[in-house]
Amino acid sequence: MLQLVDICKDYKNGHRALNNINFNVERGEFVFIVGASGAGKSTLIKLLLKEENATSGRIILDNREITHLKQKEIPYLRRNMGVVFQDFRLLPNKTVYENVAFAMEIIEQHPKQIRRQVPMVLAMVGLSERAEHYPHQLSGGEQQRVSLARAIVNNPQLLICDEPTGNLDPNTSKDIMEKLNDINYRGTTIIMATHAREIVDDAQKRVITLSNGEIISDQQKGGYNYED
């Protein structure tokens, strides 16, 4: 479903963040992107989210070339993707329910549809009881589950996670990984950038390892084989 062909990314200061990146992701796959800080994980995520444009190469999503999109088209592309960040990025003045409903309001879903879908997703991530709480009343793990709920409430085909467990303790991380696995089983493709060794080793999924902007290994059922 996702193809990256000869992707290079140079920043304005001349630093080459990504060099000749090639990989395909099939529908329903769960792919880890690992590597040290500065290896190019964040840049790769930014390219996928169209926050940055590649300097050269092509990105194809669902047989559609998305390498160069007009500013106007980007929001519609993002509606097919869910995003989860390390720092949750919840709206502090909205309740859990509102934070999730917000993602549906933005794409102008019918209120009836919103009232049906949001509780369902909150139940999936186990936060039904917390619906009326505000983010600051929740633990880190709970906040990340809210952002997971928000990411999947519009049924995206692709879920992009940027260090989703980076701010969480090991037990909570495990919990988030279980939720991600659930989502993956339902058919959502997941790309997850991380440098949490245990999680990668436990999961036994495909692992793409980046170093200095290049792919140094791409293994099915791999482990975290990059030495920090």
Partner 1 sequence: MKINTFRNFSRDAIHNIWRNSWMSVASVSSVVAVLLIIGLVLIFMVNVQYIASFVEDKIELKAFLELDVEYEEIIEIKEQLESNEMIGTIIYESKEEALEKFSQQIGERKDLISGLEENNPLQNSFILTIKDPSQAGEIAKSIERIKGVEEVKYGEEIVDKVLKSTRFIRSLTLIVTVILAIISIFIISNTIKLTVYGRKKEISIMKYVGATNWYVRWPFLIEGAILGLIGALLALLILGYSYYYFTGMAQHTALSIISNSLVPAGQMINQIKWYFVIGGLSIGVIGSILSMRKFLKV
User: What residues line the site for partner 1 (CB under 8 A)?
Assistant: 49, 51, 71-72, 75-79, 81, 83, 89-91, 93, 102-103, 105-108, 110-111, 150, 154
**What is the smallest separation between the CB atom of 166 and partner 1, expressed in angstroms?**
17
**What is the smallest separation between the CB atom of 7 and partner 1, expressed in angstroms?**
21
What whole-number distance in Å separates Cα of residue 187 and Cα of residue 154?
14
What whole-number distance in Å separates Cα of residue 204 and Cα of residue 171?
18
Nearer to partner 1 (CB atom), residue 49 or residue 60: 49
Cross-sheet strand order for the sheet of 214-219: 81-85, 158-162, 189-194, 30-34, 206-211, 214-219
Residue 84, φ and ψ in degrees, nearest 5: -125, 130
- Cβ burial, residue 40 (10 Å; 0-12/13-18/19+): buried
What whole-number distance in Å separates Cα of residue 3 and Cα of residue 13?
27
Nearer to partner 1 (CB atom), residue 87 or residue 129: 87
Nearer to partner 1 (CB atom), residue 83 or residue 200: 83
**What is the smallest separation between the CB atom of 2 and partner 1, expressed in angstroms?**
17
Cβ-based neighbours of 13, under 8 Å, separated by 6 or more = none
**What is the smallest separation between the CB atom of 164 and partner 1, expressed in angstroms?**
14
Between CA 158 and CA 165, with CA 162 as vertex, the angle to 5 degrees is 115
Nearer to partner 1 (CB atom), residue 188 or residue 209: 188
Nearer to partner 1 (CB atom), residue 36 or residue 69: 69
**What is the smallest separation between the CB atom of 92 and partner 1, expressed in angstroms?**
8
